[in-house]
Structure 1
């Protein structure tokens, strides 16, 4: 009976060792796979980050171009308004001078 018990214990010990070895192997495989997946995720994130930055740069450039265009349009409009104001002022000045001349002429008569 003791021999049978001992054999059973030895077999159980052997099975335990094999189970532990297999668990260690599986643990290592899982860790390696996790490391691989983690690395792939980081690579993908870097790729996405780069793509997003490119899009941001493109949008910034487009915004800057649009702002420059709007600035030029506003400048043209302001130049036009200034020109019209000057023309109107010249016209009014001329009318005032004409009126003054007329009034002086009337006074002298």
Structure 2
């Protein structure tokens, strides 16, 4: 997968916006006001950071050397994922999982606004 495919996939989800709150190269995808994916547009190999359930994080890190604790993030909940060598299906599953975790943490009002848009 490349950066454009990841961007398009994220934007296809309800309530998602793209922002650059930190600098001009770190793309942040949010659902409502909360981050669910970060992607450096300059770093090679392409790497994303996604939120992951802590138990699954440990399992992923054991199985895939491309998945580590995310830099500058809470490493219990955030993983850095180097895309090279990972199956597209796993990358999409990680994005979906991150989106779902963050969506579940939104207020009832925010959830309803997104679901009704």
What TM-score, normalized by structure 2, do the two folds share? 0.19
Q: Which has the higher contact order (CA 8 A, sep 6+)?
A: 2
TM-score, structure 1 length as denominator?
0.20
Q: Which has the higher strand share?
A: 2
Structure number with the higher helix fraction is: 1
